[in-house]
Chain A
């Protein structure tokens, strides 16, 4: 059984085809990076995997179960979790509240309407553990708008981890981080256990080659190559795609 199995995924956006017959498999516990030039369709792929966008054709299976027709929140309950490229946090709520909401997402108590959230001690301790591991505990009572960008990115990942996902989708986790924050982030990601399968979208080659076991290369909504780090490093087509995109953007 694969952690994630994608077959023939296509997505049309009002006349334009954004994803072309995308197929790949991810093993349980694997670390995969999806790379490709800007606009190649990586975030769009995530949006389809996540359920935010409906595929025009194709199938997505999570741990053997067909999830193609499921809503985003149903997928979360099946073990999928995602972080966003553009920080998507609850800006006017405190760091702690953001985290508590993330923990509650898969708990039946989220529908509870009379007991105060503050009375859920176990959630509080879980939040403490998670935020502590990311050095965010001191900032727990600050509204998210007041913490630094780097801290927001960390929180972004923390929220995705709260539901103890089996499959974690990270969209450009180190986007906009300083060099030291970046190193810290890579270390954090390395600490994740093998019970979690991780797929990340990234531009930073240090992150990609330092973290991923398998790389999938995207271009214009199609997979042009997939393989191990060494295989991709040697792949001529990949070099060509990147060189060409360097020229056009350079």
Chain B
């Protein structure tokens, strides 16, 4: 069941909007009272929330499960860092769009290749294409620093001298960009194109029989998803300060897929919740059992796929709906 469909006649659900107030308050004010490293964790969570949601546009909404999505994330990250470090371009307004542009450029090429296949083959091809970029990142040492990584410790330069450069500043930049990105993606999912993508997921032959050029829609979904992965990538470059080829490769691609599934690929905010949960869980794990984190993560994932049909979010939403509509009926 996809609760994200359009319907005018559903009760206005004012409660849904009200629920956003505490969330907004939390994200706006709580970080001010947190130590810097916790701010950093929240920042990373927001970045991955955008990254995961972008993947879900392809996976949950269109039914195209990509295991190479980190390619665009990493490409944008590397591009922006390379521009700063090797070419001395300081302005965020130049570097960020350039990063996203690179991601989109490659999406245009890769999408064309990847969409030659469908279904399970799509997993295959996207994984291979992602690894291709990973290999390039390792080999092209002069640009990327190879496995030693690319270091960029400068903060994003917005060219606004009156802005302070203290830690919370970057968090708020990320918060703003993430919120806007998520909102954009939300509108895309509710748009005619977004609903068409869901139709393609449900039955591609039927969509074609209704007049839709389904290849084109899938291609557009691929590009849009990559663009937003690129946005997340650019932010990540500044957050992480060191980029390694792993950020483009299968480990990151599978990590973000895990976030999508654990959080739920059937609900818009599912992947964002999944990203938050995983990043927040990663922290205590790194303190107590750093070696066993993949095992823990893998186990949660298996549980999610097996039992929480639709991940944590969907499970919570069903419980939430039951609780609310039960009380509303009185």
Direct contact of A and B (CB under 8 A): yes
Q: Which residues of A (144-195) have their CB < 8 Å from a CB of B?
A: 145, 159-160, 162-163
Q: A93-B199, A104-B196, A110-B196 are in contact. Are A88 and B206 (CB under 8 A)?
A: yes
- Contacting chain A: which of B6-14, B98-106, B278-286? B6-14
Q: Secondary structure at chain B's binding surface: helix, strand, loop or mixed?
A: helix
Name the residue on B nearest A78 (C-beta): B211
Selected from B9, B190, B195, B220, the residue in CB contact (under 8 A) with A141 is B9
B210: CB under 8 A from chain A? yes
A81 located at the interface, meaning its Cβ lies under 8 Å from any Cβ of chain B in the complex: yes
B317 → chain A closest CB, angstroms: 15
A73 CB to closest chain B CB (Å) equals 5
Interface residues of A in 90-147 (CB under 8 A from B): 90-94, 96-97, 100-102, 104-106, 109-118, 120, 124, 140-141, 143, 145
A104 touching B192, Cβ below 8 Å: yes
A101 CA to B199 CA, complexed, in Å: 8
Q: Which residues of B contact A109 (CB under 8 A)?
A: 192
Residues of A close to B214: CB separation below 8 A: 73
CB-based nearest B residue for A91? B202
Task: Number of B interface residues at 8 Å Cβ cutoff, please give it.
Answer: 34
Question: CB < 8 Å: which of A77, A90, A94, A140 contacts B206?
Answer: A90
Write out the residue numbers on chain B whose beta carbons fall within 8 Å of the beta carbon of A94: 5-7
Decide: B187 and A114 in contact? CB cutoff 8 A. Answer: yes
Chain B residue at minimum C-beta to C-beta distance from A120: B192
A72 to B207, CA, bound (A): 10
> How many A-B Cβ pairs are below 8 Å?
133
Measured CA separation A159–B190 after assembly (Å): 20
* CB neighbours of B205 from chain A (8 A): 52, 72, 88
Given A90-B202, A117-B190, A100-B6 contact (CB < 8 Å): yes
Count class of interface residues, chain A: 35 or more
> Is B194 an interface residue when CB atoms closer than 8 A count as contact?
yes
Among candidates B10, B194, B211, residue contacting A76 with C-beta atoms closer than 8 Å: B211
CB of A181, distance to nearest CB on chain B (Å): 22
Does A96 contact B210, Cβ atoms closer than 8 Å? Answer: no
B8 and A118 form a contact (CB under 8 A): yes
Q: Is the CB of A140 within 8 A of B9?
A: yes
Q: Is B28 an interface residue (CB 8 A)?
A: no
Whether B208 sits at the interface, judged by CB under 8 Å, is: yes
Once bound together, how far apart are the Cα atoms of A229 and B326, in whole Å?
Answer: 58
Residues of B within 8 A of A82 (CB): 209
B92 at the A interface (CB under 8 A): no
**How many angstroms from the CA of A101 to the CA of B196 in the assembled complex?**
7
- Alpha-carbon separation in the docked complex, A106 to B213 (Å): 10
Name the one of A92, A102, A113 contacting B210, with C-beta atoms under 8 angstroms: A102
With A73-B213, A105-B212 as contacts: A110 and B192 at CB distance below 8 Å: yes
**Given A90-B202, A93-B2, A143-B1: A101 touches B208 (CB 8 Å cut-off):** no
Chain B positions within 8 Å of A50 at CB level: 209
B80 contacts the other chain (Cβ, under 8 Å)? no
In the assembled complex, the Cα of A140 lies from the Cα of B6 at a distance in Å of 11
Closest-by-CB residue of B relative to A98 is: B199
Whether A117 and B9, one on each chain, are in contact in the complex, defined by CB atoms closer than 8 angstroms, is no
Residues on the B chain within 8 Å of A163, using CB: 210-211
Interface: B180 (CB within 8 A): no
Q: Closest A-chain residue to B209, C-beta based?
A: A82
Which among A77, A105, A113 has the greatest number of chain B C-beta atoms within 10 A? A113
- Chain B 277-298: CB-based contact to A (< 8 A → 1; otherwise 0): 0000000000000000000000
Q: How far is the CA of A143 from the CA of B3 in the complex (A)?
A: 9
Q: How far is the CB of A210 from chain B (nearest CB, A)?
A: 26
Within 8 Å by CB of B203, from A89, A105, A145, lies A89
What is the bound-complex CA distance between A145 and B194, given in angstroms? 21
Task: Report the bound CA distance from A82 to B198 in whole Å.
Answer: 20
Residue A211 interfacial (CB < 8 Å): no
Roughly how many angstroms separate A69 CA and B209 CA in the complex, as a whole number? 15
Cβ 8 A contact of A84, one of B184, B195, B199, B206: B206
Say whether A71 faces chain B, with CB atoms less than 8 Å apart: yes
Given A76-B209, A105-B211, A143-B2, also A124-B191 (CB < 8 A)? no
Residues of B within 8 A of A91 (CB): 202-203
With A82-B209, A101-B199 in contact, is A118–B9 under 8 Å at CB?
A: no
B177 interface hit (Cβ, 8 Å): no
* Residues in B115-130 with C-beta less than 8 Å from chain A: none
Name 24 A/B residue pairs within 8 A (Cβ), A-sorted.
A50-B209, A52-B205, A76-B209, A82-B209, A84-B209, A88-B206, A90-B198, A90-B203, A90-B206, A92-B198, A97-B7, A101-B195, A104-B192, A109-B192, A110-B212, A111-B192, A111-B193, A111-B220, A116-B6, A117-B190, A118-B7, A118-B190, A140-B9, A163-B210
Seed contacts A52-B209, A113-B191, A160-B209; 13 additional CB < 8 Å A-B pairs: A73-B214, A90-B206, A96-B5, A101-B210, A110-B192, A113-B220, A114-B188, A115-B192, A140-B9, A141-B9, A159-B206, A159-B210, A162-B210
Give me the interface of B with A, judged by CB distance under 8 Å. Answer: 1-2, 5-10, 184, 187-188, 190-196, 198-199, 202-203, 205-214, 220, 224
Q: Which 4 A-B pairs have the closest CB atoms?
A: A105-B211, A105-B210, A76-B211, A90-B202
Q: Which residues of A contact B (CB under 8 A)?
A: 50, 52, 71-73, 76-77, 81-82, 84, 88-94, 96-97, 100-102, 104-106, 109-118, 120, 124, 140-141, 143, 145, 159-160, 162-163
